[in-house]
Amino acid sequence: MTPAARVQAAIELLDAVIAAARDRGAPADRLISDYFRQRRYAGSKDRRAVRELVYDAVRLCGPVPPSGRAAMLAVAERDPAVRGLFDGSVHGPAPVGDGEGPAPVGLAPEWLVAELARSDIEGAEATALLDRAPLDLRVNTLKADRATISLPAEPQPTAAPQGLRLPPGTAVEQWHAYREGLVEVQDTGSQLACLAVGARPGETVIDLCAGAGGKTLALAAAMENRGVLLACDTDRGRLSRLPPRAARAGAGIIESRLIDPGREPEMLTDFAGAADAVLVDAPCSGTGTWRRNPEARWRLTPAQLAAYADTQARLLGIAAPLVKPGGRLIFVTCSVLDAEGAGQVDRFLAENAGWTSDRLDLPLGKPRGKGWRLSPFHDGTDGFFIARLSRA
């Protein structure tokens, strides 16, 4: 592909990303892979270059751009080399017309910038939400240890006890250590959220929103494969990815249970008042993961944010009766918004007598309300809110 054809390809892809954001379609990564699956003539350098152009534009444009071309013109305004490729050449973008303007740039749609500011995410804290994320690994202590593991690269240790950090894009999936389950890909913030659970060997632990089990695997390792570990989710597709991952990791204690939305309590009666710890890694807006999905901020609406907050409150209500007296409830979201963090905990404590918030003291992050917050700027991790609540 010529450099101009790459720019045109990025414009077409951005149109698809904008439409998907509006219609709740596929994520940008999938759209990019599908696009190139149908264009086998594009080589790996073309793919990389187009992908970079797309993500440069997504990161730059805060509000949803009117078109892919306007988004790419915003990139061109800052990069004369890209501007020069709007030259009307074959397969390239048409020259810039009179009065044609770039899409507005910025952090996010205006309402969301205000919501972030209300949660004290402004300035450098805000811009760091759109940094490029490193690649973090967790050494699986069921099979290896950070102090002795031998890997094809030289990762840096992170603040998580078994965390390692590599440059983005490192092809760890090809490593023997990855295929044999010695390491898992997991952001350091996510590892620290698991640390906050304090899961111990022999305990009964429920991961209520287990998804494909990223955190469940860390809990199994903390429990040294002893005790009861129940992984639940309402999404069959996600939960079905857990058993093969658990097998690879040698995590033998995990029982997975698909639960029907709306019927959660009755499907969990056998665990009523039985859990030492329940982790609620709740669905959220994902404002803390924009480093990986910057187009997520084009998808979010005030109504969706309110719906996430309602779901989080409902999940806390489902989780609380599962905790035994003296047990703990750990609430986690990958969001930096108080509506999905400190605000949820305040409301829960106001409505539920007999619960108190524990003082967390994790190696990264800082207190936020009655919980703890990690952020890309302060901690170099994804953004997270973590709270641990104890039942009297």
* Under rule CB under 6 A, residue 208 binds ligand SAM: yes
For ligand SAM, the closer of residues 262 and 363 by Cβ is 262
212 is a contact residue toward ligand SAM (CB under 6 A): yes
Q: How far is the CB of 261 from ligand SAM (least distance, A)?
A: 5
DSSP state at residue 113 = H
Residue range at the interface with ligand SAM (CB under 6 A); choices 86-94, 131-139, 150-158, 234-242: 234-242
Taking CB under 6 A as the criterion, which residues in 303-362 touch ligand SAM? 315
Residue 208 Cα distances to 135, 232, 252, 318, angstroms: 26, 5, 18, 9
Q: How far is the CB of 113 from ligand SAM (least distance, A)?
A: 23
Name the residue among 49, 47, 19, 53 with its Cα closest to residue 35: 47
Task: Name the minimum Å distance from CB 213 to ligand SAM.
Answer: 6
Q: Are strands 371-374 and 163-166 parallel, antiparallel or unpaired?
A: unpaired
Alpha helices in the chain (DSSP H): 3-23, 28-37, 44-60, 68-78, 80-83, 110-118, 123-127, 176-179, 188-197, 214-222, 236-240, 242-249, 264-267, 296-299, 302-319, 342-351, 376-379
CB of 35 to ligand SAM, least distance (A): 27
Phi, psi for 321 (deg, rounded to 5): -70, -10
Shortest Å, Cβ 311 to ligand SAM? 6
Catalytic position from the list 61, 194, 232, 334? 334
Token match 């004369």: residue? 80
The count of residues in the chain is: 392
Q: Which residues are annotated as a binding site for S-adenosyl-L-methionine?
A: 233, 260, 281
* 331/355 with CB nearer ligand SAM: 331
Nearer to ligand SAM, 183 or 212 (CB): 212
Chain centroid, CA 115 distance in Å: 19
Of 209 and 253, which CB lies nearer to ligand SAM in the complex structure?
Answer: 209
Between the CA of residue 378 and those of 152, 191, 336, what are the distances in Å?
Answer: 30, 16, 12
Q: Applying CB under 6 A, which of residues 21, 108, 112, 232 lies at the interface with ligand SAM? A: 232
Which of 108, 209, 222, 360 is in the footprint of ligand SAM by CB under 6 A? 209
Tell me the CA distances in angstroms from 283 to 33, 40, 219, 332, one per residue in order.
25, 36, 19, 9
Residue closer to ligand SAM, measured from CB, 233 or 379: 233
Q: Residue 227 has what DSSP assignment? A: S
Largest CA distance in the chain: 71
Q: Which stretch binds ligand SAM (CB under 6 A): 31-39, 131-139, 163-171, 231-239?
A: 231-239
x-marked contacts with ligand SAM along 261-300 as a string, rule CB under 6 A: x--x----------------x-x-----------------
Nearest distance in Å: CB 283, ligand SAM: 4
- Pick the closer one to ligand SAM by CB: 279 or 364: 279
Under rule CB under 6 A, residue 87 binds ligand SAM: no
Quick check: is 334 catalytic?
yes
Instruction: Name the binding residues.
Output: 233, 260, 281
Residue numbers 15-44 binding ligand SAM by CB under 6 A: none
Query: Which of the ranges 36-44, 134-142, 203-211, 289-297 carries the binding residues for ligand SAM, by CB under 6 A?
Result: 203-211
**How many residues of this chain bind ligand SAM (CB under 6 A)?**
18
Kindly report the three-state secondary structure assignment for every residue of 327-339. Answer: EEEEEEECCCCHH
Query: Which residues pair with residue 371 across a beta bridge?
Result: 368
Using alpha carbons only, what angle is made at residue 125 by residues 333 and 186, rounded to the nearest 5 degrees? 45
> Which 240-259 positions form the footprint of ligand SAM (CB under 6 A)?
259
Sequence-distant (≥ 6) Cβ neighbours of residue 68 within 8 angstroms: 10, 11, 12, 13, 14, 15, 16, 17, 18, 57
Please identify, using beta-carbon distances, which residue of 76 and 332 lies nearer to ligand SAM.
332
The number of C-alpha atoms within 13 Å of 348 and in the hemisphere containing its C-beta is 34
For residue 377, the minimal CB distance to ligand SAM (Å) is 22
Which residues lie near ligand SAM (CB under 6 A)? 208-212, 214-215, 232-235, 238, 259, 261, 264, 281, 283, 315
Instruction: Tell me which residues are annotated as active site.
Output: 334
